[in-house]
């Protein structure tokens, strides 16, 4: 569910709606912790549920106690995941790296003490996980509290947290489905392996293969997060071309990563089995499965990056439908046919699920190729200002600033000796405030010559700002931005306003 923030916070940061990041993150923390409540009821009754399904009572009792002790980590994770997205969407990966390493270094000794020295056994492991999760949360909260880098993006808690719940859930629910539909299909594959002949062998081998791809998937998952950040930031800033380039960069890196990892995995196929099992039959089976696992690594590299791009664009609902169709209408039926009808057993299950992954990757690729980036940039802006009464006014002022940018971009292609310089400083950084009057920030239009000194005049600067706000350039058509005469006219108007307001 926290994947919704990759859209909301990422695009808001690109549009410099910095206050939105804090508000949306707080909304996400509230929603995720609220969702934990019914799940806690499920965890509290795990022992009874396992017994009802025919599991051994002693094992059910031990599992029930372990899960109950893990409940505090449930709420820690519900707080941690939004915080991770809060930092990620600002490209603040340093704090995340430090907190992860610090938590790991803390977790290893505390886990060893609680498991082996305290006599708690596996219950000590559950307690160690609780403590480590909350240590990570506290570290990130302290970073937000005491370091100035987050002062513009983290806001005091207010009633806006609750007003944004619906907006958040519209993306959070399909975001959760995107992830869960894939996970559930793989879990179903393990359950189905228990129905095959020699279920102990089949389940063991599939569990090993899932452990391998689960570990290796952290790489494309990270690439997808980076792609999501760059795409959402650029769409929020209304830079569709830059967003498109970010997609190209993400996919090129994904191709390189898939090639390196899959090749390394294939070369070491005879060693992998020894890492997970002492049973020769299991090791040999794993060796035969490795070529299929390599194919899975390649598909995961692509779909991990493409899924990140989808989240950056706000396509969680499309991604959910793609995953549902790919796995449940294609992957699982093929897996059932190959494993039980064709008698390919565990290998058939794996091929079937990977056929679903192939369809998923293919559909996401087609959708990404067909993106209208200009339209996505407009939709990103609509999403950012959804529910804001000042959205229409903000849009008008943004269009004015965009016209100013157009002057600069087209001026580069014009050859005219009378105009040799045009300054539009930081036009992209115009601030849009949802709950306060709109400000044109750091915009100045001027030309060299006798009016150069006007740049040093604060009143002149404010006069130009007010001229833009008052619509002094409304009589100029858009086509005038493409001519030398049009640019001269815009500059002349700006200088006139500046002269009138000069001391």
- 212-241 pLDDT, tens digit per residue, is 888 888 899 889 999 999 999 998 888 889
Range of the domain at 38: 1-163
pLDDT-based confidence at residue 489 (cuts at 50, 70, 90): low
- Region of poorest pLDDT, from 80-94, 95-109, 429-443: 429-443
Same domain, 273 and 398: no
Residues 6+ apart with CB under 8 A from 74: 36, 39, 40, 43
Q: Is residue 38 part of a domain?
A: yes
Amino acid 467: pLDDT: 54
Residues 6+ apart with CB under 8 A from 240: 234, 373, 374, 376, 377
- 130-174 pLDDT, tens digit per residue, is 999 999 999 999 999 888 888 888 888 888 888 888 888 989 999
Structure tokens at 195: 């129905």
Higher per-residue pLDDT: 64 or 492: 64
Q: Is residue 200 part of a domain?
A: yes
Q: Would you say residue 55 has pLDDT above 70?
A: no
Q: Is residue 339 part of a domain?
A: yes
- 297-330 pLDDT, tens digit per residue, is 999 999 999 999 999 888 889 999 999 999 999 9
Higher per-residue pLDDT: 99 or 401: 99
Amino acid 367: pLDDT: 92
Instruction: Work out how many domains the chain is built from and give that number.
Output: 3
Same domain, 291 and 378: yes
Same domain, 268 and 310: yes
pLDDT-based confidence at residue 29 (cuts at 50, 70, 90): very high
Same domain, 218 and 146: no
Same domain, 335 and 262: yes
Same domain, 308 and 444: no
pTM value? 0.71
Q: Is residue 289 part of a domain?
A: yes
CA 257 centroid distance within chain: 19
Same domain, 157 and 200: no
Q: Would you say residue 384 has pLDDT above 50?
A: yes
Question: Is the Cβ–Cβ distance between 316 and 174 less than 8 Å?
Answer: yes
Structure tokens at 101: 């390493």
Same domain, 143 and 213: no
Same domain, 75 and 135: yes
Amino acid 466: pLDDT: 53
Q: Is residue 168 part of a domain?
A: no
Q: Would you say residue 415 has pLDDT above 50?
A: no
Question: Is the Cβ–Cβ distance between 493 and 467 less than 8 Å?
Answer: yes
Q: Which residue stretches of 147-198 are H helix?
A: 160-163, 165-193
């Amino acid at each position: 569910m926290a994947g919704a923030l990759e859209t909301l916070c990422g695009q808001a940061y690109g549009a410099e709606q910095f206050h939105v990041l804090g508000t949306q993150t707080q909304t996400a923390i509230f929603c995720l912790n609220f969702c934990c409540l019914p799940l806690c009821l499920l965890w509290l009754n795990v022992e009874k549920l396992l017994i009802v399904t025919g599991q051994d009572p002693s094992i059910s009792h031990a599992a029930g106690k372990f899960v109950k002790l893990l409940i505090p980590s449930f709420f820690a994770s519900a707080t941690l995941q939004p915080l991770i997205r809060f930092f990620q969407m600002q490209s603040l990966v340093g704090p995340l790296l430090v907190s992860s390493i610090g938590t790991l270094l803390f977790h290893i000794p505390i886990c060893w003490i609680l498991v082996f020295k305290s006599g708690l056994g596996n219950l000590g492991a559950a307690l160690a996980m609780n403590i480590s999760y909350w240590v990570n949360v506290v570290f990130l909260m302290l970073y937000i509290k005491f370091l100035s880098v987050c002062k513009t993006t983290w806001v005091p808690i207010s009633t806006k947290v609750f007003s944004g719940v619906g907006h958040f859930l519209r993306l959070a629910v399909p975001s959760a489905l995107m992830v869960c539909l894939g996970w559930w299909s793989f879990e179903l594959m393990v359950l189905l392996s228990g129905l095959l002949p020699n279920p102990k062998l089949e389940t063991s081998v599939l569990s090993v293969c899932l452990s391998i791809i689960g570990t290796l998937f952290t790489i494309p998952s990270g690439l997808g997060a980076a792609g999501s950040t760059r795409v959402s930031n650029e769409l929020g800033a209304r830079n569709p071309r830059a967003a498109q380039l970010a997609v190209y960069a993400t996919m090129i890196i994904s191709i390189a990563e898939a090639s390196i990892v899959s090749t390394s995995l294939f070369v070491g196929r005879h060693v992998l089995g020894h890492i997970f099992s002492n049973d020769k039959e299991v090791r040999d089976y794993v060796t035969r499965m490795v070529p299929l696992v390599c194919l899975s690594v390649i598909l995961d590299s692509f779909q991990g990056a493409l899924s990140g791009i989808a989240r950056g664009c706000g396509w969680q609902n499309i991604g959910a439908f793609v995953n549902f169709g790919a796995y449940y209408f294609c992957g699982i039926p093929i897996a059932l046919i190959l494993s039980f009808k064709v008698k390919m057993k565990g290998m058939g299950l794996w091929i079937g699920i990977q056929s679903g992954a192939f369809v998923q990757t293919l559909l996401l690729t087609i959708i990404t190729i067909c993106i209208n980036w200009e339209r996505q940039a407009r939709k990103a802006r609509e999403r950012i200002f959804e529910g804001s009464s000042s959205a229409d006014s903000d849009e008008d002022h943004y269009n004015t600033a965009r016209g100013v940018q157009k002057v600069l971009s087209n001026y580069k292609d014009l050859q005219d000796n009378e105009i040799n310089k045009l300054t539009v400083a930081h036009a992209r950084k115009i601030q849009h405030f949802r709950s306060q009057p709109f400000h044109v920030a750091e915009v100045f239009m001027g030309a060299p010559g006798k009016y150069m000194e006007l740049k040093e005049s604060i009143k002149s600067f404010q006069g130009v700002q007010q001229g833009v706000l008052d619509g002094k350039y409304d009589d100029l058509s858009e086509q005038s931005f493409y001519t030398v005469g049009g640019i001269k006219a815009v500059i002349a108007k700006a200088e006139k306003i500046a002269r009138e307001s000069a001391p």
